[in-house]
């Protein structure tokens, strides 16, 4: 059987941690920042974990991670 491919988009956006969790960056921080409040932009900094409801699709996109 051929190997399964990892989705390139998931590979670039997600980091798998040692405990099995997946780290991701926040959405809505890329463009059109002038109409967003300073508080909103500040709270979008940093990273967060992928929610449990999305883990099945993340595992399918990254089969060897």
| Chain segment 27-52, per-residue pLDDT in tens | 999 999 999 999 999 999 999 999 99
Domain count, the chain: 1
Q: Among candidates 65, 64, 62, which has minimal Cα distance to 9?
A: 62
CA–CA dist 43, 46 (Å, integer): 8
CATH number at residue 38: 4.10.410.60
50 lies in some domain: yes
Instruction: Supply the range of the domain harboring residue 39.
Output: 8-61
Cβ–Cβ under 8 Å, residues 28 and 44: yes
Q: Which residues are within 8 A (CB) of 6 and not within 5 positions of it... i.e. 6 or more apart?
A: 61, 62, 63, 64, 65
Predicted local distance difference test score (pLDDT) of residue 32: 97
pLDDT tens per residue across span 9-18? 999 999 999 9
Cβ–Cβ under 8 Å, residues 39 and 47: no
């Amino acid at each position: 059987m051929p190997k399964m491919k990892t989705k390139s988009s998931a590979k670039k956006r997600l980091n798998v941690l040692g405990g099995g969790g997946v780290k991701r960056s926040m959405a809505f921080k890329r463009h059109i920042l002038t109409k967003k409040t300073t508080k909103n932009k500040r709270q979008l900094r940093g990273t967060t974990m992928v929610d449990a409801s999305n883990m099945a699709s993340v595992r399918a996109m990254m089969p060897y991670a």
